[in-house]
Amino acid sequence: MTAYANNGNETIVLLRAILEKQNEQNAILNSMAQRQSQNVRQTAEWQKTYPELAKRCVGAANRASELLNSLLEKLVSDLESIESDDYVGDYELMELIDKYGHRFQQLSLLLQTLSQLGKE
């Protein structure tokens, strides 16, 4: 009987710990939702203040997408040209990263920003 009582107490302690963690996670999710809502309001306010620029962001986002796709095509071609039996050493890998990494990352960020600002 005492072993059952100990298990019952352990279960209660465990359930309280789970509940505490769930409450912490809920607080984090609420905070994230508030930040997202604030970002949406700020973007909408910016779009009202600069409606013409917001419209131009849509076209710029389309162009950035085309450039990103072109860069991606070149990267894929370079990767396909490497024979599967070839050893790709650190030097070759760094060449690919130097050639595409920074531009790909920056274009992706520009596309994301322009898309968000031009969103209706």
Domain boundary among the residues 10, 33, 49 is at 49
At residue 9, does pLDDT exceed 70?
Answer: yes
Q: What is the pLDDT of residue 3?
A: 52
Question: Do 58 and 95 fall into the same domain?
Answer: yes
CA distance 100 to 113: 20
CB contact set of 118 (below 8 Å; sequence gap of 6+): 54, 55, 56, 57, 58, 59, 60, 61
Question: Do 44 and 61 fall into the same domain?
Answer: no
Question: Do 34 and 75 fall into the same domain?
Answer: no
pTM over 0.75: no
Question: Do 111 and 72 fall into the same domain?
Answer: yes
CA distance 118 to 61: 8
Domain span at residue 89 reads 51-120
Average pLDDT score over the chain? 89
Question: Do 78 and 104 fall into the same domain?
Answer: yes
At residue 4, does pLDDT exceed 60?
Answer: no
For residue 90, give Cα distances in angstroms to 86, 87, 96, 97, 98.
13, 10, 10, 10, 12
At residue 81, does pLDDT exceed 90?
Answer: no
Q: How many domains does the chain have?
A: 2
Quickly state the pLDDT bin for 78 (edges 50, 70, 90): confident
Question: Do 33 and 66 fall into the same domain?
Answer: no
Question: Do 31 and 81 fall into the same domain?
Answer: no
